[in-house]
Amino acid sequence: MVFDPLSGSLWMEYAPGPARPALEGSVETEVAVVGGGIAGLCTAWELARAGHPVVLLEADRIATGVTGHTTAKLSALHGQVYADVKSVHGARAARLYAHSQQLAVERVAEVSEELGIDCDLERLPAYTYTEDPGQTDGLRAEADAALEAGLPASYLTTTSLPFPVAGAVRLEGQAQFHPRKYLLGLAADLERLGGRIYERTRVTRLKEGTPCEVTTERGDTVVARHVVVATHYPVFDRALLFTRLEPKRELVVAGPIPADRDPGGMFLTPDGGTRSVRTAPTGEEGRRMLIVTGEKFTPGTSEEGEVGERYARLEEWARERFGPLEITHRWATQDNWTTDRVPYVGRLHAGARHVYVATGFAGWGMSGGVMAGSLLAARIRGRDPAWTSLYDPVRLRPLREVPAMLRLQAQVAKHFVGDRTPGAYADSVADVGPGQGSVVRVGGRLLAVHRDEAGALHAVSARCTHLGCVVHFNDAETAWECPCHGSRFDVEGRVVEGPATRPLDREDVEDTRDGAD
């Protein structure tokens, strides 16, 4: 299908803020934070506010990666997490999870007021609902588990959605906001406090010790007592977290609706591959922007159809339930799921003394990232909040995690071996049409070949530079994606998203299509 990308993320239309320089040479600091999304910026700001020298390093521009493409819900109601956390970790762990996540919601409200950041913060209830009567028992159990965890949750059979539901969990006192407005305000205050931010600075190497040292792709270095790795998917593999993280990508569509059609809350259902709904201000009186998320899938896979077809399904769902809707924005977001449903925030690995990580927020990176910033700042300052062990990446619960780990590794092995077999891709470069991309076997090599709309070929190595899996083409985003660990590259091979830190090698290929020059 011909895919019209329209505008990208609604949040990315906001002014990017002042450009920060790239790191040049060597600098020293107390704490180096790698990654300029919500987890990294919140960690850096919390530390700077407490008087600690901080350097933040971002591979692109701050707040433009996953954080710039979120749906920006601030909530402690994370689908059906409480019944699961209680069953795996116990009732006390569920209470700690609830308390730490709700504190993160309140932290954003508190800080935005303190710093005068106008980030379109709106306090609204959050809902997890189902349209399937067969799924209501699970929601009743979730409402009970959330209530036991200390949240004012309730079970309902009606909501303010314009269509009937079979059951829903409701949690008051949650929030939605504009993530980039908030984080750019936080970054400005971080610099006012003496923190340094370097953009266009990709970190590729970490040397642990006393002190630690991080090195960029250009060979520049930061020497620091502590290092925080907040790159969404950790870019350093020594912790083997890639065996316990599952990347998932979700699509987002948005368009204006009359304000009287605003359902007045944040809504999530696991039905149909997940559907999430919220609204945002448009700046136009009487209008709101409807934002719908869903079609969750593993990057680099297309078992349920090409990505463009997924967007079409999501738009159809939105129009069926909310009426006529002109889609003005389409984008996608990505996050990582841990094997026990709880994020990894703490020591990078069992032997780490001064290196920390924040990852695995399972689609709830706004509250999770703020929580991570507070937790990591406290740990670096020598304090351990009550929920430290709950989020510690070093934890391992074999009864729950080992089966999930084995499933993940079986999926990786399938792609690692199966994707190299003959016959899985286009037979020749000539089979790749305008706007298309495919892996092609050329002279014994697997090449990722894209032909742009003008007919020009762009060929790169098809082997992901992370661990060597074969990339697949995303037709809607014109990108190469690794189905093993979620790394993403543009058609020229440049890294768009980690854990890969090195680009795909450019390759020369002869165009064998009839009529080619």
Nearest to 216 by CA among 463, 32, 482: 32
User: Each residue of 177-224: pLDDT tens digit?
Assistant: 999 999 999 999 999 999 999 999 999 999 999 999 999 999 999 999
pTM as predicted? 0.86
Amino acid 453: pLDDT? 79
Query: What would the two tokens of residue 158 be?
Result: 């009606």
Residue 2 clears pLDDT 70, i.e. is over it = no
Taking residues 377-402, report their average pLDDT.
Answer: 84
Residue 12 clears pLDDT 60, i.e. is over it = yes
Query: pLDDT grade, residue 232 (50/70/90)?
Result: confident
User: Each residue of 247-302: pLDDT tens digit?
Assistant: 888 999 999 999 999 999 999 999 887 899 999 999 889 999 999 999 988 887 75
Query: What would the two tokens of residue 279 be?
Result: 């609204």
Average pLDDT, the chain: 88
Q: Which CATH number fits domain 245-338: 2.30.30, 3.30.70, 3.40.50, 3.30.1460?
A: 3.30.70
Query: pLDDT grade, residue 408 (50/70/90)?
Result: very low
Query: What would the two tokens of residue 167 be?
Result: 């059951």
Q: How far apart are CA 116 and CA 93, in angstroms?
A: 34
Superfamily name and number for 419-517: Rieske [2Fe-2S] iron-sulphur domain (2.102.10.10)
Taking residues 75-99, report their average pLDDT.
Answer: 95
Per-domain residue ranges for the chain?
15-70+180-237+341-406, 245-338, 419-517
pLDDT top residue among 387 and 88: 387
Amino acid 513: pLDDT? 67
Taking residues 25-33, report their average pLDDT.
Answer: 97
Nearest to 177 by CA among 98, 256, 123, 100: 123
Residue 414 clears pLDDT 50, i.e. is over it = no
Amino acid 370: pLDDT? 98
The alpha helices in 285-364, defined as continuous H runs, are 307-322
Amino acid 511: pLDDT? 72
Q: Please give, one letter per residue, the 3-state secondary structure of 198-259.
A: ECCCCEEEEECCCCEEEEECCCCEEEEEEEEECCCCCCCCCCCHHHCEEEEEEEEEEEEEEH
Nearest to 34 by CA among 334, 234, 243, 245: 234
Q: Taking each helix axis from N to C terminus, what angle separates 136-148 and 81-89, rounded to the nearest 10 degrees? A: 60
Amino acid 457: pLDDT? 79
Q: Give the distance, in angstroms, between the CA of residue 485 and the centroid of all CA atoms in the same chain.
A: 13
| Lowest mean pLDDT segment, chosen from 64-73, 345-354, 396-405 | 396-405
Percent of the chain with pLDDT over 90: 61
Amino acid 411: pLDDT? 53
Q: Which residues 6+ apart lie within 8 Å of 99 measured at CB?
A: 150, 386, 387
Nearest to 456 by CA among 495, 392, 509, 407: 509
Amino acid 406: pLDDT? 52
User: Each residue of 289-314: pLDDT tens digit?
Assistant: 999 999 988 887 754 458 888 899 99
CATH number, span 15-70+180-237+341-406: 3.50.50.60
Residue 398 clears pLDDT 50, i.e. is over it = no
| Lowest mean pLDDT segment, chosen from 155-164, 355-364, 496-505 | 496-505
Taking residues 340-365, report their average pLDDT.
Answer: 93
